[in-house]
Structures are given as C-alpha cells and as structure tokens.
Amino acid sequence: MSLIVHKYGGTSMGSTERIKNVARRVAKWHAAGHQMVVVPSAMSGETNRLIALAKEIQEQPDPRELDAIASTGEQVSVGLLAMALKSLGVDAVSYAGWQVPIRTDSAFTKARIESIDDARVRADLAAGKVVIITGFQGIDPHGNVTTLGRGGSDTSAVAVAAAMKAAECLIYTDVDGVYTTDPRIVEDARRLKVVSFEEMLEMASLGSKVLQIRSVEFAGKYRVPTRVLSSLTDPLMSLEEEMVSGTLITFEEAENMEQAVVSGIAFNRDEAKVTVRGVPDRPGIAYSILGKIADANIDVDMIIQNQGSDGTTDFSFTVHRNELAKTLDVLNTQVKPAVGAREVIGDAKVCKVSIVGIGMRSHVGIASLMFKTLSEEGINIQMISTSEIKVSVILEDKYMELAVRALHRAFGLEKAA
C-alpha cells in the first residue's frame, strides 16, 4: 500500500461524463489498497472564461482579485469529483488550497508554494478517504487566495506528492506520454518509457507542452517520481498495464535508462529573430542593446554577436513572436539612434529545432551530426545555441517539419532503444 498522487488536466475533467471516468480510475487505485490524493484542474475552458470576465471589467485586472476569481474553477471541479467518487461508494472529501492549507508567497497570479500542511489530509487518508485538492492555488500569509499561474495544477500535484513523500505522482493528460518528437510531425515518433529529469526540463523549456516547466523543476528539486500518462485509456484497465504506460521521469542516470544519446527532438514556431546591423564594435554594446529590451520587460532567448571586418558588428537575438513588434519599436526609437546602428531587421518566419539528450554529455560529435543532417537537406542554420544536454538551431520556418523528420531519422529515434 502506497501513497499515490493523481493529477488530471482540464481536458480530463472537461465534462461530467469525463469526471465520472476519472472517478472510476481513482476508485480502482483506491480499491487496490493505495492511499489516494487527487489534484484536478478546472474543467477545460473554465479558467479562460473567468479571466475573460475579469478583463471585461478591467483591462489589466487587479492581481489579487483576479486570483480570487480564477481559483474558483478548480473549487468547482474538486467538488464534482468528490461527488462522483461518493456516487461510486468511495468516501471522498474535497479541499480548496486554503483549506489544506497550501501556503504560498503573495505573488498573485504567479505565486510560489512555500509549504504544505498535510495533517488534515493524512487524517482523512488514515480514515480511508480519497482526498481531492484544488490545483493551481494556495493561500498567502495574509489569508489571501493566490494562484500559481497557468499550468500550475501540475506544480500543485508534484508539490503535494513531495510534501507527503508520495511513492509516485501520476500526471494524467490528453497524451499518453513523452515522445521522441511530436507524432503529428513524425509518424514513427516513439513514446519514451523513461526520460531523465534534465531532459524533461529542456524539453519543457523548448516548447514541448506535456508538462509545465515549474512542475518539472519541483519534481527535480524534491526527487518526486513522476509519470505522465493518458486519461483517455479505459479507466478500468489493470494497474499493472497502467503502470507501464506513459513516461516515467527519473532522477538517476541508471543502467536501466534507455541508452540513446539523443532522447528527443523539440521544436516551436514561437520565436522571432531580430538583427541590429552595423553596430560600432566596442565594449558594452551588448548591454546598450539588451538593457533597453529588458527595461521593456521583453524576454530574450538566444543571443549571437558576429564581429564584422569594418569595426562594426551584427547583433542578433530571438524574442517571443508576440513581442516582435514591441521589440522593433524599442530598437528603432531608443537603441538605433543611441548606438549608431545601421539598420534593424525583424524576422518572424523562423523556427527553433532542438535535439535533447542526457547522453550528449559523454558523447562527442552529436552537434556535428545535427549540422551535417541539416546541410544534406539543404537547410541553412541561422543561429546556434548549446547547453550540456541540448543543441538548438534557428531555421527558416518552412523547413521545420523537414528538419525534425531528418533529425529523428539521423539519430535513430524511431527504433526502440
């Protein structure tokens, strides 16, 4: 008998019929003798509906009041799930974050969990109840309701699992695990049975939407064994079958980990490239450009500086595509005249493709194989960025699918490891 935390996303909770299916699955785990804590999201669409209402009232909603409003979606879904379990004859009780309590700081709309008091939950578990806790929210030191930001239910679930030293945290979602790449792009993409925490972290930050990045950080920090699996399978499938489905995130570079050097290919079209041409090449030039961008609250991802032969340099970086216009405005009005740059160019038609793999640490030549593969397909690389376990390149966006398929093949990801 173990303590198990289940997390269900908004799609899994998307209708009363689906909530009944979630209850059947939880009841099965409970019947197998496990102590069960369940953290559901709001029904899909509900949080967006609430935020839209708030924006009708105030264009920039007051953060404390927005959290009070946005947190109600989960408060409804925990109550509905408790009822669904009770109607299956399983005793269950729901709690809002403030009732547990899940204590956070006061950073409304993006609060961080500071501690979880599990006394009340443990007493219910000892009494044989399933405990259902709202995701996405907590209470600050002044008794205000806070939310953790979008996707925060994943983080709540992992944090509860960490605080209660759960045997495993199962994240049920609408995909059945983490893949070598998006199966919609590469037909023979393969589900990873195991992925390392660090790879998962890179994939989340590179645009793979399976898990919210802060939940992965939390899982890593507290070494919570976390599994991503599908809520769309038969809820009454055997526990044995269920425990080999999905993808397990591990914290050990164990012998039994898959041996591939590269585990997956991540990609996105969320970025845009900006180039400031003909900047006088002198110390401090990077700061005079990027300082203004930071002042405007624009996040920068990749940065490249090329030295020219005429005493000037070209300075390129990427920003989120939604912020391209704002970035160009800052560059043209504030930076270009101040630093005496020749011209400013924006390009939204780019994509980022990355290879990720913990095996890259101990293998040379991985980047070369990537560049060779792209070159053989006639794809020009515009920018490169590397870390210990990933290589990212910026390409013209029309080549994205071609690049992903070629790399997936080149690194042999379609074959079982």
List the strands of the sheet with 145-147, edge to edge. Answer: 113-116, 102-104, 137-139, 145-147
Q: C-alpha distances in angstroms, 97 versus 94, 160, 343?
A: 10, 11, 52
State yes or no: residue 66 binds its own copies (CB under 8 A).
yes
Question: CB of 35: closest distance to its own copies in angstroms?
Answer: 20
State yes or no: residue 69 binds its own copies (CB under 8 A).
yes
The residue (of 77 and 247) whose beta carbon lies closer to its own copies is 77
Q: Can you say whether the dihedral through the CA atoms of 360, 364, 369, 372 is positive or negative?
A: positive
Largest CA distance in the chain: 79
**Count of residues engaged in binding its own copies, rule: CB under 8 A:** 36
State yes or no: residue 367 binds its own copies (CB under 8 A).
no
Per the CB < 8 A criterion, the answer to whether 166 and 160 are in contact is: yes
State yes or no: residue 234 binds its own copies (CB under 8 A).
no
Find the angle CA(248)-CA(253)-CA(259) to the nearest 5 degrees: 80
State yes or no: residue 380 binds its own copies (CB under 8 A).
no
Question: CB of 152: closest distance to its own copies in angstroms?
Answer: 18
The residue (of 132 and 407) whose beta carbon lies closer to its own copies is 132
Question: CB of 232: closest distance to its own copies in angstroms?
Answer: 20
Bridge partners for 272 per DSSP:
319
Among 83, 107, 232, 417, binds its own copies (CB under 8 A): 83
State yes or no: residue 27 binds its own copies (CB under 8 A).
no
The residue (of 129 and 214) whose beta carbon lies closer to its own copies is 129
Q: Can you say whether the dihedral through the CA atoms of 321, 325, 330, 333 is positive or negative?
A: positive
State yes or no: residue 51 binds its own copies (CB under 8 A).
no
State yes or no: residue 341 binds its own copies (CB under 8 A).
no
State yes or no: residue 163 binds its own copies (CB under 8 A).
no
Question: CB of 404: closest distance to its own copies in angstroms?
Answer: 41
Contact region for its own copies (CB under 8 A) — 77-85, 220-228, 385-393, 396-404?
Answer: 77-85
d(CA 229, CA 242): 8
Place of tokens 């205000």: 144
Among 2, 87, 115, 380, binds its own copies (CB under 8 A): 87
Question: CB of 66: closest distance to its own copies in angstroms?
Answer: 7
State yes or no: residue 78 binds its own copies (CB under 8 A).
yes
State yes or no: residue 68 binds its own copies (CB under 8 A).
yes
Binding residues for its own copies, per CB under 8 A?
Answer: 16, 19-20, 50, 53-54, 56-58, 61-62, 64-66, 68-69, 71-72, 75-76, 78-80, 82-84, 86-87, 93-94, 96, 98-99, 143-145
